[in-house]
Amino acid sequence: MVYYLSDHPSVVGFRWGQPGWFGTTWLFLFSSIFLYIVSTLILHTLLLLLFRHRRPLPLGPIPAVHSLGMILISLFIFSGILLSVAAEIRDMRGLWRRHYGTSPVQWLLCFPVGTRTSGRVFFWSYLYYLSRYLHALCTFIALLRCRRISLLKLFNNSILIFMSFLWLEFSQSFQIIAILLATSFYSVVYGYRFWTAIGLPAACFPIVVNCRILLLSCNLICHFAVLLLHYIKGGCNGIGAWVFNSVLNGAILLLFVCSHVGKWKRRRRSKAVHGDAADKVVNT
């Protein structure tokens, strides 16, 4: 298992942009995101035209199968990149100290300037990038279920695809930690969704929201660590793409907070209206 996940020639010899690797061009990136957004809007329009009622469409086992697939993919990528990190530290520890003065912990957050997008960890970063397209399918499942388009989900999934492409295109620092955190998060979230999709009882507190807040908080702390190392160590590779990704992460965080604050206000207003109505009934 260790050989196939970290020492196989396809893993060790990976190089981003080589012919034969799927989806490595800017044209493919922008075309796929455009197709994703357009197809979502078309499906939403068709549902409004064909079905007047707001009842969710029966999807059978599709949500459970999608959640189970994402669990397995997330665990597979997490295991692969973890074993690849261990192999890179084993093989490159001496070189990092002699030429870059970098420890393994610093390397996880800050790639030395001149790092190329090749080797073990970038192979798993590439698979993580491809998995973002499978993750985007949850938008169509949610649309068929709720009959309502979520602009936050649409924007978030598009940005995740774009950011994971930038990680590879510019050999961006911090991506190893980001992938480990994200795959852990998706394993828990999709595990919970699979749990509820097969008919088991839901939790009494919002697991998905709490996991998302935890992930965003961990990412924020790691971003500060990358910025600190960039100035202490004399530069981190792909810092320009990192700055752009930080702006996109900030936009996602802002939209997430605004969305949930709006939901909380609507819920509070609804409770207040129902409470007033109940008081009137009691007084009558």
Q: Where residue 85 falls among pLDDT bands split at 50, 70, 90?
A: very high
Distance CA(61)–CA(65), nearest Å, equals 6
* Residue 68: per-residue pLDDT: 94
More confident site: 49 or 74: 74
Q: What are the boundaries of each domain within the chain?
A: 2-283
Interacting residues of 7 by C-beta distance below 8 A, sequence separation 6+: 87
State the Cα angle at 111 between 95 and 89, rounded to 5°. Answer: 45
Q: Where residue 274 falls among pLDDT bands split at 50, 70, 90?
A: low
pLDDT tens-digit readout, 49-63: 877 766 777 788 888
Which has the closest alpha carbon to 84: 60, 129, 130, 118? 118
* Residue 103: per-residue pLDDT: 78
Strand ranges for the chain from DSSP E: none
Q: Is the pLDDT of residue 270 over 50?
A: yes
* Residue 281: per-residue pLDDT: 47
pLDDT tens-digit readout, 129-170: 999 999 999 888 888 887 777 777 888 899 899 999 999 999
237: how many CB neighbours lie within 10 A of its CB? 20
Beta partners for 118? Answer: 15
Q: What 3-state class would DSSP assign to 55?
A: coil
Question: Minimum mean pLDDT among 20-24, 148-152, 196-200, 277-281: which range?
Answer: 277-281
Q: Is the pLDDT of residue 73 over 90?
A: yes
More confident site: 28 or 276: 28
Residues in the chain: 284
Q: Where residue 239 falls among pLDDT bands split at 50, 70, 90?
A: confident
What average pLDDT does the structure give for the chain? 84
* Residue 99: per-residue pLDDT: 59
Distance CA(253)–CA(216), nearest Å, equals 7
The tokens for 66 are 């999608």
Helix (H) or strand (E) holding 177: helix 175-197
Question: SS3 breakdown of the chain: % helix, strand, coil, rounded to 5?
Answer: 75, 0, 20
Q: How distant, in Å, are the alpha carbons of 75, 104, 116 from that of 8?
A: 19, 22, 19
The tokens for 270 are 């609804």
Q: Where residue 272 falls among pLDDT bands split at 50, 70, 90?
A: low
pTM: 0.88
Distance CA(53)–CA(75), nearest Å, equals 39
Q: Which residue has the tokens 């604050």?
A: 261
pLDDT tens-digit readout, 87-131: 988 887 766 666 566 778 888 888 888 888 999 999 999 999 999
More confident site: 145 or 23: 23
